[in-house]
Amino acid sequence: MSVNIKKMGSALALTLLSMNMLSVNVSQAATKSAEVAVAAAPAVVEKRTAQQIVTTVCAACHNVDGNSSITLNPKLAGQHPEYIVKQLTNFKEGTRANAIMGGMAAALSSEDMQNLATYFSEQKTTLDVAKTNGHGSIGEKIYRGGIQKTNVPACASCHGATGAGLPKQFPRLSAQHADYNLVQLKAFRTGERANAPMMTAISVKLTDQEMAAVADYMQGLR
């Protein structure tokens, strides 16, 4: 039987060409699949430590140790972590209105908030003194005994005799800036701050003079 060498060579060449084309197609498909997988993969977000966030975000207003030198900004040092988390969450959700803090909190994850709260709660609060409302003052009387004629309860009944507050329920008020506390009391009264109904109900019964007196007194608590 005669064999056509020329035809066999052509067939072999076609076979090799087909195999090469198949190899190229498989390689291209694999490359495309890899590109799709990379594109679909979630971006890796670098986690920031509490110290990094404090240094780059919080320190300008609250200082690195949480003892703000600006009296209209609250001291965060020694504050209960649960309270800090609640306020940051409220700022982020918009249930506590503040343009600056709303913007700051928007970039924080729940983990960031918890880490920051723990960090500030572990800092030592710098003590302060009342300017005019010391022992026997109207501020002390309101804080410790309330105002009977207008049914204002004693601040100490929730925030404690020394202003230490109660974890998970009421914030620490001792050594807090009087200017900050006064602004917050007025904000509760007007409804500008509405994330603590109990404080709204109390503040509407206080005059400006009474608010200023009790805010000053709390600044000196320790």
Question: What is the domain-level CATH number for residue 200?
Answer: 1.10.760.10
For the chain, the residue count is: 222
Residue 29: C-alpha distances to residues 16, 40, 208 (Å): 20, 16, 75
| Domain region containing 169 | 138-219
Using pLDDT thresholds of 50, 70 and 90, give the confidence band for residue 32. low
Domain-located, residue 18: no
Strand partners of residue 152: 147
Domain end (from 91, 121, 151): 121
State how far the Cα of 62 lies from the Cα of 86, in Å rounded to an integer: 17
User: Where is average pLDDT lowest: 14-18, 102-106, 216-220?
Assistant: 14-18
142 plus 177 within the same structural domain: yes
Q: Which helix (H) or strand (E) holds 33?
A: helix 5-40
115 domain-assigned: yes
Task: Establish how many alpha carbons lie within 13 A of residue 4's alpha carbon, considering only the half-sphere containing its beta carbon.
Answer: 6
Q: Is residue 197 part of a domain?
A: yes
Domain end residue (candidates: 61, 87, 121): 121
In this prediction, residue 47 carries a pLDDT of: 72
Q: Same domain for 152 and 113?
A: no
Domain identity same for 105 and 157: no
Same structural domain, 163 and 195: yes
156 and 209 fall within a common domain: yes
Task: Quickly tell me which residue has 């990379």 as its tokens.
Answer: 38
Q: What is the DSSP string of 124-138?
A: PPPP---SS--TTSH
Q: State the pLDDT confidence band at 199, using cuts at 50, 70 and 90.
A: very high
Domain count, the chain: 2
Do 109 and 145 have their domain in common?
no
Q: Is 104 helix (H, G, I), strand (E, B) or coil?
A: helix
Name the DSSP letter for residue 42: P
Over the chain, what is the mean pLDDT? 87
Question: Do 142 and 183 sit in the same domain of this protein?
Answer: yes
